[in-house]
Structure 1
Amino acid sequence: MANSDLYKTPLYCKAYYIPGDEDLTYIKDNPLTKIEMCDPAKILQLCENLTDIRTKNLEAKSNIYFKSEAEAEKVFFINLFDVSDEAMIQVVQDKILDVPLRTSLGEDTISNIVEYKDETLKCAEDLDPKIQALIDKVVPNESGDLVLVPILAKERRTNIPKKLYVTPVYLVCFVNPNRDASFIIRLVHETFRYCLTLLLNTRQCEEEKRLKNQCQSLLSVARKLFSHLGDLNDLLKEIMSEARRLTNAERCSLFLLDPDHMHLVAKVFDGVSPTDKKTEVRIAKDQGIAGHVAATGKTLNIKNAYKHPLFYKGMDEATGFKTRNILCFPIRDEGGIVGVAQLCNKIGGGHFDYFDEQVANAFSIYCGISIMHSLVYKKIQDAQARSQLSNELMMYHMRVSDNDVADVVLCDKYHDMTDFDSFQFMPRKVLHFEIPCYIIKVFENLKLFEEFRIKRDILTRFLLYVKKGYRDLPYHNWVHAFSVMHFAYLAIKNFQLVELGYLSKLEVLAYLISCLCHDIDHRGTTNSFQQQSNSVLAGLYSSEGSVMERHHLSQTLATLNTEGCNLLECLNRSDYIKCLDLIKNMILATDLQVHYRLHARQVTMAMEGYNRKNAEHRYYLCSLLMTCADLSDQTKEWTETKNVARLIYAEFFTQGDLEKKMGKEPAAMMNREKASIPDHQLEFLSDCCVCIFQILARIFPLAEGLVESINQNIKAWEKSKPIFKQLSLNYTTSYEILTSQEFEDAVQAALGPKEQPDDLLGEEESSGEDQQGEEEEDEDEDDESEDKRPGEQTAHMCCEIT
């Protein structure tokens, strides 16, 4: 039968002659066929009952009617959606399913139904396998006969002017009917001649209502998202919550694109334990489901996750979560893809459908806009914070005059102290005003002026600005910066780092600059104090970690960018960028938390042997050298290390006093009434310093002497414990004991002439007062402000290098 025949006027009350029945002789088209006719009264009664506003109820009433007329076991509709290429069963007989059965169809499936020449489809022969699988969920194959009648509808399409577009909208399924197929075909088509418009209009009304609700939800989402612009993490949490709600998903993961490293990064998670929430997950931009979506920009709707080749089962195995299906879509802003959202497990056991995809794509627009504005807003906040810090720094310091520069450049003093190139040298003995001259001497000895065409006046101005960048703190001051740089110089010279290929000249330059600037503008407090006090620095850097170290880096770059201070100006573009990257990595390495993350890999490098061509080994070595330089005070003789402890604890106890004013109980090492300084120092030296310098000695055997110096200081602090305890009866605070001459004399007497570290290092202590209190004036940053200090580093990571 041609398609046009489906729309012929039905022949109501058409009867066929039956031999022996003389009353029905008025029509004799086919005398061998039994009378067949559709009762118009029943059709009208059905139309009268179809008053519901839900298609599910309309289908249930239609199913009851068709079951009765066809004398079938059961009847159900398969809804066909041409727009989404999807088939759905939502009612079986009069039972409305809790979760509709859905399946996606191929592009040609629905059009093939239109071209079907008969009026019924046979499951095994002509039916699309996906539709067959859908039917099998309702009616197993062995259940008997199944008759399917396609229902076509005509509609006008804007792309087909003046023509009607024919598309199938339903498949009506009859299970085990007693009537023959020809009667069922006539029954269905005659009934739908009057009922189809009502069913389709109701279905369209439902879809429009659904779209309206979704639009309203999206507008509500937009309001919520833009109320969280001030905090990116809160915004991401809100995005995940709304994405789950809009699509009725169990979980959502959100990855933002890191364009610098071409990774997708997730910092905020949904459905994980609180202890895991600080974990950052990174995946390559082109790997996995999220990576594929980020690379292609196309939405992925995966019905069965475990059968998809891009799905990684390991995450499920680690978390115990079972992923059934996934909807993954890109998030874009005006510049392109900025992230990927991944929804897991449609609630109710179904899968994500076409409409979920449409909602997700619409939602992604709001996500992209809100994320873009949040990042811009954060940049504005950062700019304001940096401006505040810069103004604060400018008000605190004075500019460097040309006369100050000239005084250093034209200095005619010889500046030559005994053993300056030896690890036994005490850099804190250098007079404060002579430090810039000694730094210039280091650059001369290493031939950096010739190598990089550095101008003396530019280096001098840079040094004087850096000097002014350090505050007047007991320990983290300009003298500490010089001490750290001096150890770097000793390592370069004595370990022959350049000659043996451990470091390049450019790495040496970056190493010296990093040592000089690694604690610039230190505040004398730890990272944790900055965060607890909600300081400007914490607001600017806490999300990235290493608050003080990132501030030191920022001030270093600001100093280099100051007019007349850029000693890197003669580098080519490639070396300039590389040098800045090296400075960044080295300054951040002074955070002991960074060291502890690299610790195991540094040990492995030392045990297996340093590979000069391995980029990771070079990074590990630079980080190790930076940490050793920052802790180098602990390799000096006992009197010097005790004096350094005095300076450190002066800062510690000042922070402890501030914490008490804030109503917080300070840590024991920062409580001047409770601190047991020898115990804290022993913990610091044993658990931290020895381990770090043992790694260095494994690579450079000459550093064994540094390890031995630390061990000698450990013995000295051990000797001081009973003395400290005894003197605590006579002094009010632990700091008074540490700074008393009585404590110094008692420890020296306990050590005896043979055990004194002076014999090992070959140096007599020089009076700290000879520096006229310079150490206390100079500000020097600390390795990591908190972790590098005694007692605060309870890392419990002692690496035994044998």
Structure 2
Amino acid sequence: MAQHSECTKPDQALFLTPSYCKKIIDSNVPDETRVPEGESISKIEVSDPVKILNLIQDLTNKSTKKLEAKLNKYLKTECEAKCAFLINLYTLSEEAVVQVIQERILPDNIRTVLSDEGFNSILQFQANSLSASASLDPKLQELIRKVVPGGTGEVIIVPVLAKERKSENQGFYPAYLICIVNPSKDSTYISKIVSETFKYCLTLFLNTRECEEERRLKAECQKLLLVARKLFSHLGDLSDLLKEIMSEARRLTNAERCSLFLLDPDHMHLVAKVFDGVSPEERSTEVRIAADQGIAGHVAATGEILNIKDAYKHPLFYKGMDEATGFKTRNILCFPIRDEDNIVGVAQLCNKVGGHFDYFDEEVARAFSIYCGISIMHSLVYKKIQDAQARNQLSNELMMYHMQVSQQDVLDVTMCPSEHEVPDFAKFTFTPRKILPKETPCFIMKMMKDLGFIDTFKIKSDNLARFILYVRKGYRDVPYHNWSHAFSVAHFAYLALTNFQLVEKGYFTQLEALAYFISCLCHDIDHRGTTNSFQQQSNSVLASLYSSEGSVMERHHLSQTICTLNTGGCNFLDALSKDDYVKCLDLIKDMILATDLASHYKIHSRQLAMAQEGYNKALPEHRYYLASLLMTCADLSDQTKDWKETKKVAQLIYAEFFAQGDLEKGMGRVPANMMDREKASIPDHQLEFLTQCCICIFRILATIFPNAKILVEAIKQNIICWESSKRIFDRLCIEGKTSYEVLVSDELESEVQNTLESLN
């Protein structure tokens, strides 16, 4: 680099000289006073040898901060200055850091990011001898302003260069900037004192700094080993594992927030499984981004770490999330997570506490990503093994519980000579539970023929009959959620399709109507007589298989429906085209899952708005809301029958509830009141169910289909009956009878009958 006898004046438009900086132009300063050329100095010109020896003797600390404090004190004294401090320059992490001011060790370092141009400005600064700080990188100027507020006087800056020691390149790199504030000595003297001091101290300082970094890396490696141990302890639950990964990534890098995205290869999306800093309401909504968009998408596509010092200046940064959450993103470290072959996800860290993410954070991220990828891969494999074991156990249970359907059973249905004509069978007032159980498969065949399914879809009668018989065997002998309930729900589907003319008026296609009827028939197959919450609390096989997806029982019903359809000789849909077959299964999935009342409550307001604004057949969401509404109505249709039938159904429901309550007591748990035979107040529970759930649902149905008002009126009648029953419940319960004993008593029937007669 060319030597200049005199520094040219910086362009004031580019370099505004701070008030406290002193521009020094001294062409008489000999080259020997500069570092590292100072190695050629053969004598000490301005330093006191005794003082230097005492300083070197005193520099025994293993901490660079303590060494700096002692050196600052020495330079302040020798330069007769107000203050002295060092700026540490790190070319690897591209940082300038002040960690000690005079003898005061800072609790939080003052740091700034430097570019290659910033380091080059320091080399140019040194080559021009002592020059004004205005010729330095603006970020360095700002760093000096933070340490020395404006108006406190002049600052003389002396750069210190060091030889490259770890490469074949024997050039020099900037190691420190020595800042002397308000000195009494002139610049020539200060340049010489700094040069002579670092002639003996530089190696010690650099070695200590390297040792500190080695200790830091060693500590990070130990942390990573502990993290690996913790991660592998969470392999059994992917959700917990991902939360642990997020927590550890944030802790290792000292970040404020972390988000974790897993790659969905089927849809080429990144899915935020753990999204830190989002409210609980938003957290239930899945965050999905395209696999090639945004910062996380770029990292997923390239596989390279992205360290962004200023988020808002980066073209890939999306500030909409900050605006939604009120969080201010300053900097981002985003790194890929790999398994043995591919990228499986992306972790995105935000806002390094006390600064920005540096080179060492990147190295930690690279090492950490390996542990993440391995643990996620093993967790997914472990989950598949668990699922396979659970499915195998379920299959064994089903094989032991159910018997095979014989060919004679199939012939009895397909060759049945009866016409199965029953008065009022197609009216909402008809009670399907009156049909003899042995005749119900034939009535299923009859309803499907009446609805045109058999002819339209070229359904083979023997396949359909075999499917129906397998489904019937798939229902367990529990009090309420049994085959009789399934037949009743399927009958309501038949009534809705017939009376509302769902296909004729374009509410359903014929394929949607078929899926609706089959879903009603199969919606509770292999029901255990217990609720979803019971399955989860008891850690059942079903819960281990489906709890992560929600709607435990409904997903099991769907699974068993598909299994039954795939049983030999049961696939009555085999004549469908491939597209129609896939669509039919998708419809069945959506409709069966819609029978979870928890799912219904999530979309209830949208169904109500749909009915009030007017049903639009062209909108896919309206078609979905209507299908879900019709499934819920079918599932609750027992409540639209006459009082005698409704009371019988209540007996079955509470027999099932109380059986679950007894199981919970046996497990040491306290059941809900409606499940506790000793505490349940049946009329109150029924009135709450009818007034807050059933009538609301059927009113929406009646808004869309006016001829459904008869169902609303039936519920109103039953509400009156349950209200009138409270008197007899109160009296007999005081006499010592349980609520269930009152429900099955003759006194109750007489009381309610008198009420109905008085109304008529």
Shorter-chain TM band: 0.7 to 0.9
Mapping 1:460-499, distance limit 5 Å: 460-499=465-504
Structure 1 regions of 5+ residues with no counterpart? 15-35, 756-802
Mapping 1:672-687, distance limit 5 Å: 672-687=677-692
Rate the CA distance shift 1:87–1:451 in 2: closer, same or farther, 3 A.
farther
Q: Which moved more, 1:131-140 or 1:248-257?
A: 248-257
Q: Secondary structure at the match of 2:116?
A: coil
2: distance between equivalents of 1:122 and 1:450?
94
2: distance between equivalents of 1:278 and 1:127?
47
Q: Secondary structure at the match of 2:639?
A: helix
The one-letter amino acid of 1:285's match is: I
The one-letter amino acid of 1:624's match is: L
Aligned to 1:420: 425
The one-letter amino acid of 2:141's match is: Q
Query: How far is the alpha carbon of 1:628 from its aligned partner?
Result: 0.3
The one-letter amino acid of 1:614's match is: L
2: distance between equivalents of 1:683 and 1:606?
24
Rate the CA distance shift 1:9–1:630 in 2: closer, same or farther, 3 A.
closer
Mapping 1:583-732, distance limit 5 Å: 583-728=588-733, 732=737
Aligned with 1:430 (options 420, 435, 439): 435
Q: Which moved more, 1:209-218 or 1:524-533?
A: 524-533
2: distance between equivalents of 1:449 and 1:394?
30
The one-letter amino acid of 2:696's match is: C
* Contact kept? 2:643, 2:721, Cα under 8 Å: yes
The one-letter amino acid of 2:559's match is: S
Cα-to-partner distance string for 1:279-320 (whole Å, 9 max, x where unaligned): 525323258876776677655556677888634345655xxx
The one-letter amino acid of 2:185's match is: R
Query: How far is the alpha carbon of 1:653 from its aligned partner?
Result: 2.2
* Contact kept? 1:306, 1:324, Cα under 8 Å: yes
Tell me if 1:80 matches 2:89: yes
2: distance between equivalents of 1:336 and 1:191?
53
* Contact kept? 2:260, 2:275, Cα under 8 Å: yes
Q: Secondary structure at the match of 2:617?
A: coil
Q: Secondary structure at the match of 2:497?
A: helix
Tell me if 1:748 matches 2:753: yes
Rate the CA distance shift 1:588–1:661 in 2: closer, same or farther, 3 A.
same
Tell me if 1:154 matches 2:184: no
The one-letter amino acid of 2:605's match is: A
* Contact kept? 2:69, 2:100, Cα under 8 Å: yes
Aligned to 1:107: 116
Query: How far is the alpha carbon of 1:455 from its aligned partner?
Result: 2.2
1: distance between equivalents of 2:689 and 2:278?
39
The one-letter amino acid of 2:414's match is: V
Rate the CA distance shift 1:335–1:270 in 2: closer, same or farther, 3 A.
farther
1: distance between equivalents of 2:342 and 2:613?
45
Mapping 1:302-381, distance limit 5 Å: 310-311=318-319, 312-313=321-322, 317=326, 327-334=333-340, 336-343=342-349, 346-347=352-353, 349-381=354-386
Mapping 1:508-547, distance limit 5 Å: 508-547=513-552
Aligned with 1:135 (options 137, 144, 163): 144
2: distance between equivalents of 1:729 and 1:207?
79
Rate the CA distance shift 1:267–1:395 in 2: closer, same or farther, 3 A.
farther
Mapping 1:59-208, distance limit 5 Å: 59-116=68-125, 117-124=127-134, 126-155=135-164, 161=168, 163-208=169-214
Rate the CA distance shift 1:296–1:492 in 2: closer, same or farther, 3 A.
farther
The one-letter amino acid of 1:491's match is: A
* Contact kept? 1:719, 1:751, Cα under 8 Å: no
* Contact kept? 1:316, 1:323, Cα under 8 Å: no
Rate the CA distance shift 1:12–1:143 in 2: closer, same or farther, 3 A.
farther
The one-letter amino acid of 1:180's match is: D
2: distance between equivalents of 1:699 and 1:492?
14
Rate the CA distance shift 1:227–1:383 in 2: closer, same or farther, 3 A.
same
Rate the CA distance shift 1:7–1:692 in 2: closer, same or farther, 3 A.
same
Query: How far is the alpha carbon of 1:91 from its aligned partner?
Result: 1.5
Tell me if 1:222 matches 2:222: no
Rate the CA distance shift 1:457–1:76 in 2: closer, same or farther, 3 A.
same
2: distance between equivalents of 1:301 and 1:143?
36
2: distance between equivalents of 1:665 and 1:201?
67
Query: How far is the alpha carbon of 1:398 from its aligned partner?
Result: 0.9
Aligned to 1:284: 288
* Contact kept? 2:246, 2:274, Cα under 8 Å: no
Rate the CA distance shift 1:100–1:452 in 2: closer, same or farther, 3 A.
same
* Contact kept? 2:334, 2:346, Cα under 8 Å: yes
Rate the CA distance shift 1:221–1:92 in 2: closer, same or farther, 3 A.
same
Q: Secondary structure at the match of 1:84?
A: coil
Tell me if 1:48 matches 2:54: no
Rate the CA distance shift 1:744–1:9 in 2: closer, same or farther, 3 A.
closer
In the superposition, the TM-score normalised over structure 1's length comes to 0.83
The one-letter amino acid of 2:407's match is: D
Aligned with 2:564 (options 537, 559, 562): 559
Q: Secondary structure at the match of 1:392?
A: helix
Rate the CA distance shift 1:560–1:115 in 2: closer, same or farther, 3 A.
farther
* Contact kept? 2:38, 2:196, Cα under 8 Å: no
Tell me if 1:234 matches 2:240: yes
1: distance between equivalents of 2:244 and 2:39?
57
1: distance between equivalents of 2:669 and 2:633?
33
The one-letter amino acid of 1:195's match is: C
The one-letter amino acid of 2:130's match is: T
* Contact kept? 1:266, 1:280, Cα under 8 Å: no
Query: How far is the alpha carbon of 1:358 from its aligned partner?
Result: 2.5
Rate the CA distance shift 1:425–1:296 in 2: closer, same or farther, 3 A.
farther
1: distance between equivalents of 2:57 and 2:362?
37
Percent identity of paired positions between Structure 1 and Structure 2: 64
Cα-to-partner distance string for 1:507-535 (whole Å, 9 max, x where unaligned): 22221121111101111122222233332
* Contact kept? 1:283, 1:291, Cα under 8 Å: no
Aligned to 2:271: 264
Rate the CA distance shift 1:68–1:660 in 2: closer, same or farther, 3 A.
closer
Rate the CA distance shift 1:172–1:268 in 2: closer, same or farther, 3 A.
closer
1: distance between equivalents of 2:41 and 2:733?
115
Cα-to-partner distance string for 1:395-419 (whole Å, 9 max, x where unaligned): 0001122232222222232122222
Rate the CA distance shift 1:664–1:203 in 2: closer, same or farther, 3 A.
closer
Q: Secondary structure at the match of 1:108?
A: helix
The one-letter amino acid of 1:411's match is: C
Rate the CA distance shift 1:742–1:95 in 2: closer, same or farther, 3 A.
closer
* Contact kept? 1:13, 1:37, Cα under 8 Å: no
Rate the CA distance shift 1:99–1:626 in 2: closer, same or farther, 3 A.
same
1: distance between equivalents of 2:425 and 2:738?
37
The one-letter amino acid of 1:667's match is: A
* Contact kept? 2:307, 2:357, Cα under 8 Å: yes
Cα-to-partner distance string for 1:341-397 (whole Å, 9 max, x where unaligned): 4545555x4444332232233222212221221222122112211211110111000
Q: Which moved more, 1:423-432 or 1:230-239?
A: 230-239
Cα-to-partner distance string for 1:69-113 (whole Å, 9 max, x where unaligned): 333322221111111111111122222211111111123321343
In the superposition, the TM-score normalised over structure 2's length comes to 0.87
